[in-house]
Structure 1
Amino acid sequence: MRTDIIHRMTHTPKRKSLYHFTRVDNLPAIVSSDALYASDIVHPNPQGNRRTEKEVHQLNGNKVLLNAHLHISTEIMDTDTTVRQFRSFLDQHVFLWPTLRLCQQMLQMYSRREPFEKFAVLQLAAYPLLFDHYHQVRLSKYDAGSMPRYPQRTSYRKTLRMFLPLSEFRAHDHALIPRIPSEIHEILIHNSVSSLHRYIETVYCSDVGDIPTSWVHLYKPLQDIQTPRDQV
């Protein structure tokens, strides 16, 4: 069953990889720990308090920058979930994107907001990562952490019920959850992606000098995925 579900999600050429967006300053910590950690592991936030600006923390002696939380209004929330509960849930997960195009949208948004910041995109092998972290995976049909411009016009409300366990993919027919691979907008991994060396394929960033030595062979220029002809 596990192999069938993951095969459905990853069998097309554009879905063979997953993508993680991060800051270049986080690369030493990522390489040193051989893992991607949810922000709640780096700095626990059980009450779901909002980070209004990026924060610097330490993890195993390495600096880690956590992004500010985007504003989420009560207007977009379902009655069964508070904003704080929702934010706390998000903080317990590592975010991955199932296509390059979706990750590019994140890269473009942050590049506009912070034009002098350096960012990186990690390309990861989808099938083995999902197989090894099967019981940690949740799927989302929507951009979970953002706030729609016109919440009153949206067809859904944010709720913890919108996060589908990977093991239940295609087991339910509900408009709130993804039913086919093309409806998967985000992939969330609870707590961490461990043994990262098993899945890492490429590291995209602007300057090869920003990559720790052991990952230099994985380098490709960030510009390679910023040009329209490379969007998939």
Structure 2
Amino acid sequence: MYCGRGMFPGGKERCTMTGKTVGGPKILLVDDDKIVIEALTDLFKRILPAVGIVDSATSGVEALELFASNADQYALVLLDMSLEGMQGPEVCRRMRLMDCSTPILGMTSFSLNRYRVPLAAAGAQGLVGKGDETQLEQAVSRVLSGCFLPGFETPMAAYAKLKCDTQAESTLTNMQETIMNLCANEYLTDGEIAERLGISIATVRKHMQNIVKRLNCRTQRQAIITWLKRGNGR
């Protein structure tokens, strides 16, 4: 566990380039299981009475919309790794590129080794298992108090590194994200993806061509491998 400055819920340091100000402390909880959201909300009410307000999202897209509007009010984002569609590390990456101050803590029901490296590269401050309430409580308290877990960095350091790393890397659109996840994670054919999304097969193939270009790959297979290496696999 390592600690840094400017990370306390009541006095977070913001990037001067954003012009943001600190709002009321909130937690953004992202999980596609509503039962988990309810359980964790109850937990936070017990262990973090000073925070009090918990916003929730059940998808990466919804989480990004909330974060884009309220990042300066969040004391912490607690983010599940295995979401439908856009996976946790990519959600974290996009959030971190929006904000250099709000701490992000990942959580998973799977082995931590599965997500630790891609999540650290995406700009998070730690990763914890869902199954142990005590460890989850300790990790949340540590990150809220200005600490980051071993193998991770402060929000500011992570933001700076990610900005440099992504200068030459294009981000996929939401539709392209969805198509890649259906292809790479659910192994759907072009026809099955078209049926699922209500678009034509030709449109799916055109999106795939653009995805290959955006990821600086030569083939669809290379694009899928690149996508999975970012931590977008289930």
Q: TM-score, normalised by structure 1?
A: 0.27
Q: Which has the higher helix share?
A: 2
TM-score (norm 2): 0.27
- Larger RCO (CA within 8 A; separation ≥ 6): 1
